[in-house]
Amino acid sequence: MADYVIVGAGSAGCVLANRLTEDPSVSVVVLEAGGPDRSLNIKIPAAFAEQFHSKLDWDYYTEPEPHVDDRRLYCPRGRSLGGSSSMNAMLYVRGRPLDYNLWEEQGADGWGWASIRPYFLKAENDERGASEHHGVGGPVNVQNQRSPRRMNADFIRAAEACGIPRCADYNSPEQDGVGMFQTFQRNGRRWSCADAYLRPAMKRDNLEVITHAQVQRLELDGRRATGVVYKRKGRESVARADREVILSAGAFNSPQILMLSGIGPAGHLRDVGVPTTLDLPGVGQNLQDHPFLTMIWEMSDTHSLYRADAPRNLAEWLLRRSGPLSSTVAESVGFVRTRPGLPAADIQFHVGAAYFEKHGEEEYDGHCFVIAPTLLTARSRGWVKLGSPDAGDPPRILTNSLEHPDDARAMIAGMRLAQRIAATDPLKSKVVKALKPGDDLDSDADYLDHLRSRVELIYHPVGTCRIGKDDDAVVDPELRVHGLEGLRVCDASVFPVIPGGNTNAPVIAVAERAADLIKNRVPVA
C-alpha cells in the first residue's frame, strides 16, 4: 500500500509525483494508461503532429457540434509518460493575472494571481535569466526559439504597422502585443513534464510508476476513496492508498473516472447504468477549450517549414539540435483586443511559416505561412459524459463551440485583422496567394459560414471538475472532491475558467501549489 496513488502521468501527475516523493518517508504509486515516451516523434519538436492518431494519442473526437456544421472536432490527448506535455506544441504561456483573480472571485479561494504567481517562478528555469517575472533553477526549462523562420520577423513588423505593439514579454502582467513564443525545450528538444519532474523522481525508492495501467474505477469504502482498480495486460489489480487518491487524468478522463465510480450527475449515471455513489451534478460540466482557425497563405520566401523532415534537416537536429525540426511550428504570437473596452486580449494569434491544416494531416506542395486566430475568452460551455459503463470506451464530449454569438463575433474580428496584417508589408510583398480562406469573403455572414466550416480546437480542454464552493463545483479550494474523503483532483479539469493562453504552464503551476496543499505546507508567499 502506498501513501498516495496518482492516476495519470501527465503534466500534473508528474509534478505531484516529484514533489510528494521529496519526502523519503512518503510512498507514491503513479498509474499511467500509456507507455514510455521514447519515440523520436516526442523528442523532435516539429514532429508533434506525427503523434496524432497513433498509439501515443487517446484520439478523441467530440459529438457532432451543432454550431460548427455538425462536425466532430478532433481532441488529441497524450498517451505516454508526460501525457499531453509529451504531445503539445511546447508553447510556454501563463495567462493573465485577471484570469486567476477571476477564479478566486468565483469561489476558488487562494487561487488568485498573488497566490499562484510564485509557483510559476518556482517551476521555471528561464534561460534568459532571473528577473522580476521569471525564475531560474526550477525543473521546467524555458528556452527561446532555437532556429526561427524569417517570416516571424516579417509578421511582427507588419503587425506593428497595423498598430499592434511589440511585446517584450507576454508572460509579464502586460500580455498585449506581438513577439516570439518561448518554449518548453532544452537544447532544442522537447522538455516535457516527464523530463522535468518524473524522470528525476523515478530514481527515488519511494516512487513506483506503472505504465499500461487502464484505470477502471475508484475503490471506495463508504464515502472514502481507498484505492484505484486498474487493468494491465488483461488482469485487474488494485492500487491502494493509505492517505489519498489523486486524479490527474485530464479534463476528459478525470470526470470519466469519477462517473465510472458512481460519482457524478445521478440522472446521467442512471441512464448509462452506473449505480450512483454520490450525486455530484457538476462532474463533467463546464467544459471549455480554445477554438482556432488556421488562415494560410502561399509565400515566396523559401525559409519555411516546407519539407522540414528532409534527411538533411533530421541530420542537423540529431547533430546540433537546431534547424527546422527544432521548431514548434507556431513560432511567433500576438495577443490582441478586437474591440475597445475589453479588460484583456480576446484573440491570440499562433503564427508560423508552415501549411497547417486539419491538424497537420493535409499537405501542400509549396512554402506557406499561417496566422491562426484563437479565441481566448470563450463564453460557450460544453460537457463530458460517459459513453457506457465500460472504462475502455471513450467518453462522450461536446464543447458547444461558437454557441455564444460573442464567440463568433470575436473570431470574425480576429480573421479580418489577420488578413489586414497579411496585406501589410513586409508580409504583403511575400504573399503569392491566399489559400484558406481565399480572397472571396466579404460580409460577416461569409466569414461566419467559413468559420463554422473549418474551425477546430487547439487542444486546451479544461473545467470539467471545477474548483468552487457552490452546488455545481466538484472540488473545494484544496482540490478535495466535495462529499468524499481521501480523494482530490489536480489537473486542468479544476480550472473554473480557461486562462488566456496555452494551458500547460498553468497546469504545472496548479500542481506545484497542490503539492504544497497536500503536504500542509504554508504556500509560497
Closest CA to 181 of 366, 348, 339: 348
Classify 250 in phi/psi space as left (phi over 0), alpha (psi -120 to 50) or beta. left
- Among candidate residues 134, 367, 460, 482, the one labeled active-site is 460
Closest CA to 500 of 335, 294, 342: 335
Q: Cell 513588423 belongs to which residue?
A: 157
Q: How far apart are CA 419 and CA 428, in angstroms?
A: 10
The rounded Cα 358 to chain-centroid distance in angstroms is 18
For the chain, the helix, strand and coil percentages under 3-state DSSP, each to the nearest 5: 30, 25, 45
C-alpha cell recorded at residue 233: 495486460
State which amino acid sits at residue 490: C
Q: Other CB atoms closer than 10 Å to residue 284's CB: what's the count?
A: 30
Q: How far apart are CA 104 and CA 97, in angstroms?
A: 11
Q: Other CB atoms closer than 10 Å to residue 520's CB: what's the count?
A: 7
Strand partners, 272: none
Does residue 426 have a cis peptide bond before it, meaning omega lies within 30 degrees of 0?
Answer: yes
Strand partners, 177: 335
For residue 460, indicate whether it is catalytic.
Answer: yes
List, as one string, the DSSP characters of 79-108.
-BTTGGGGTS--B-----HHHHHHHHHTT-
State which amino acid sits at residue 139: P
Under 8 Å between Cβ of 5 and 488: no
Under 8 Å between Cβ of 190 and 505: no
Residues in the chain: 525
Under 8 Å between Cβ of 511 and 16: yes
> Exposed, middle or buried, 38 (CB in 10 Å: 0-12/13-18/19+)?
exposed
φ, ψ of residue 332 to 5 degrees: the values are -120, 165
Cα–Cα distance list, 304 to 262, 324, 327, 449 (Å): 51, 8, 10, 30
Under 8 Å between Cβ of 93 and 502: yes
C-alpha cell recorded at residue 93: 504561456
Under 8 Å between Cβ of 464 and 75: no
Instruction: Please give the positions annotated as active site.
Output: 460
